[in-house]
A and B are shown apart, each in its own frame.
Chain A
Amino acid sequence: MAEFFGLLSFGPDGWGRSLVSAAGMTVAVALCGFLLGTVIGGLLAWARLAGNLAFRVGSDTYTTVLRGIPDLLVVYLFYFGGSLLVTNVAAAFGSEGFVGIPAFVAGAAAIGVVSGAYQAEVFRGAFRSLLPGEIEAGRSVGMSRFLLFRRIIAPQVVQHALPGIGNIWQMALKESALISVTGLVELLRQSQIAAGSTRRPFEFFLIAGAIFLVIAWISQHLFQYLEKRTARGVRLEGAA
């Protein structure tokens, strides 16, 4: 047991410090991807709800395709495809040889593109729950489209979307483990390195899992707090 905690010490022989910074990397790449996904998801939901036929079909195709393809393939596409693109652009400017793109950028982009497809569905569902009468009422008192969005639509969509968005954040967090295949030193990659050098894979993958659980648990509570906060003005059925 003492030996087990020795593996995790923060001293020069322990892996504690590297694991904590790797956990930070996991959260950073998942968060960047997730926020990119929110932007993509918002645009897709808007295209689906307000756009013309071409926009609707495009948005629908995007969500269907991205939700039907394994995330690992998307990670490979962005990592190798991104590097290929950058190499070609660099070659046009006279550079020779291979130019790789940072694994962090490729990873965050892959997470963002996938989670955008899922977030679009959540936003669309949340938008559906708006009462048309409220939007008409807003228009009738002369609100501009932007004001209507800020005061009437956005607050309610956010409130209805939060539980679904929380689930998608948990997905993005777990998906970030796939980015270890590109060599980005996040939690799983760091555990692989530690497991390889100490020959203790069981302990280190167990620890990696435990840290993922802790992050998931903290974020779950954060989302519960946010849900409570955004629901302040809502009277619950039967809670008179």
Chain B
Amino acid sequence: MDFAFIGQTFLQLLGGIPLTLKLAAVAFLIASVLAVLIAIIRTRKIPVLDQIAGFYVFVLRGTPLLVQIFLIYYGLGQFRPTLQSLGLWQFLRDPYWCSILALALNSSAYASEILRGGLRSVPVREIETARAYGMSGLRLYRRIILPIAIRRALPGYGNELILMVKATSLTSTITLMEVTGIAAKLISESYRPVEVFIAAGVIYLAINFILTRVIALLDWWLTPHLRRPRIVAAKLEPAHA
């Protein structure tokens, strides 16, 4: 094992971290917005939209992400004239935006299922109470349903974020030079797969470790009612000096 080489590789791989994080963050934000919409459509069983959303989730969860990435990046190129006339071509010819689109759509399907579980765990009596107080529509969601659902869904949602970071590695197959892209290049240049794997693995583990800590902290912060009361030692002072 050549530790000097691992160190050198590590430094080169660090250059890929910003792109990895940017892809994960942007795609995750878009996915979250979509997932909330899908989850609400499916829990309220809005006709037609519910069926469409169900099919969307089934297809995106049942096919490999790599197929979805190729379909968007290579497949949509076939419709170049149409896309050009719609003004979308400048985005869809760029591997960065194709990656964002594929990652966001894919993750929205998984995340919507997690959120749906969260929404279903909101006790009916809480909703009824809120309605009795005259809350409805957006306010009911904002004040009662979403706060409960988000707390319930958070651990699963955190896992989805980790999966998203791992999924960004697939964008290296459509030429993006994020951490895995640089790692693949270094492997083919140096032909030392084990050392490069260790260096890249350390980077991903570090990112995911930090993210799991952040999510655990968020979970702790959002659930003060589940914390054990802190026992404060009573200060005993003599009544009379």
Beyond A69-B201, A73-B200, A213-B59, whether A80 also contacts B66 by CB under 8 A is no
Q: Is A174 an interface residue (CB 8 A)?
A: yes
The residue from A69, A177, A199 contacting B64, defined by CB atoms under 8 A apart:
A177
A205 near B197: Cβ-Cβ < 8 Å: no
A76 near B205: Cβ-Cβ < 8 Å: no
Beyond A201-B78, A209-B71, whether A77 also contacts B66 by CB under 8 A is no
Which chain A residue lies CB-closest to B165?
Answer: A70
Q: Mark A169-192, 1 if CB is under 8 A from B, else 0.
A: 010001111101100000010011
Which chain B residue lies CB-closest to A177?
Answer: B64
Q: Mark B149-175, 1 if CB is under 8 A from A, else 0.
A: 000000000000010001111101100
Contacts of B168 in A (CB 8 A): 70
Which chain B residue lies CB-closest to A72?
Answer: B169
A209 near B68: Cβ-Cβ < 8 Å: yes
Central interface residue in B59, B79, B173, B187, by most chain A CB within 10 Å: B187
B172 near A72: Cβ-Cβ < 8 Å: yes
Q: Mark A152-175, 1 if CB is under 8 A from B, else 0.
A: 000000000000000000100011
Q: Mark B64-89, 1 if CB is under 8 A from A, else 0.
A: 11111011001111110000000000
Q: How far, in Å, is B148 (CB) from chain A's closest CB?
A: 26
B197 near A81: Cβ-Cβ < 8 Å: yes
Bound state CA distance, A73 and B167, in angstroms? 11
Q: Is B194 an interface residue (CB 8 A)?
A: yes
Contacts of B191 in A (CB 8 A): 80, 84
Contacts of B75 in A (CB 8 A): 195, 201-203, 205-206
Q: Is B5 an interface residue (CB 8 A)?
A: no
Bound state CA distance, A208 and B74, in angstroms? 14
Q: List 12 A-B contacts (CB under 8 A).
A: A69-B201, A73-B169, A73-B204, A177-B66, A188-B67, A191-B70, A199-B78, A202-B75, A203-B75, A209-B67, A212-B62, A212-B64
B62 near A217: Cβ-Cβ < 8 Å: yes
Q: How far, in Å, is A15 (CB) from chain B's closest CB?
A: 16
Beyond A73-B201, A77-B197, whether A209 also contacts B59 by CB under 8 A is yes
Q: How far, in Å, is A221 (CB) from chain B's closest CB?
A: 13
Q: How far, in Å, is B200 (CB) from chain A's closest CB?
A: 6
Bound state CA distance, A177 and B69, in angstroms? 12
Q: Number of residues in A with C-beta < 8 Å to the partner?
A: 39
Which chain B residue lies CB-closest to A214?
Answer: B62
The residue from B63, B67, B79, B205 contacting A69, defined by CB atoms under 8 A apart:
B205
Within 8 A of A (CB), among B12-71: 58-59, 62-68, 70-71
Bound state CA distance, A81 and B193, in angstroms? 5
Q: How far, in Å, is B216 (CB) from chain A's closest CB?
A: 14
Bound state CA distance, A181 and B78, in angstroms? 23
A213 near B201: Cβ-Cβ < 8 Å: no
B-side binding surface: helix, strand, loop or mixed? Answer: helix
Q: How far, in Å, is B59 (CB) from chain A's closest CB?
A: 7
B162 near A68: Cβ-Cβ < 8 Å: yes
A174 near B204: Cβ-Cβ < 8 Å: no
Contacts of B115 in A (CB 8 A): none
Q: Is B109 an interface residue (CB 8 A)?
A: no
Q: Number of residues in B with C-beta < 8 Å to the partner?
A: 39
Contacts of A77 in B (CB 8 A): 193-194, 197
Contacts of A8 in B (CB 8 A): none
Q: Mark A82-100, 1 if CB is under 8 A from B, else 0.
A: 0010000000000000000
Q: Mark A26-45, 1 if CB is under 8 A from B, else 0.
A: 00000000000000000000
Contacts of B91 in A (CB 8 A): none
Central interface residue in B58, B59, B64, B200, by most chain A CB within 10 Å: B64
Q: Is B209 an interface residue (CB 8 A)?
A: yes
Beyond A73-B200, A81-B194, whether A206 also contacts B71 by CB under 8 A is yes
Bound state CA distance, A176 and B193, in angstroms? 20
Bound state CA distance, A52 and B191, in angstroms? 38
Bound state CA distance, A211 and B66, in angstroms? 14
Q: How far, in Å, is B45 (CB) from chain A's closest CB?
A: 23
Bound state CA distance, A82 and B217, in angstroms? 40
Contacts of B193 in A (CB 8 A): 76-77, 79-81, 84
A68 near B209: Cβ-Cβ < 8 Å: yes
Q: Is A200 an interface residue (CB 8 A)?
A: yes
Bound state CA distance, A188 and B70, in angstroms? 9
Central interface residue in B58, B173, B193, B208, by most chain A CB within 10 Å: B193
Bound state CA distance, A192 and B69, in angstroms? 12
Contacts of B74 in A (CB 8 A): 195, 201-202, 205
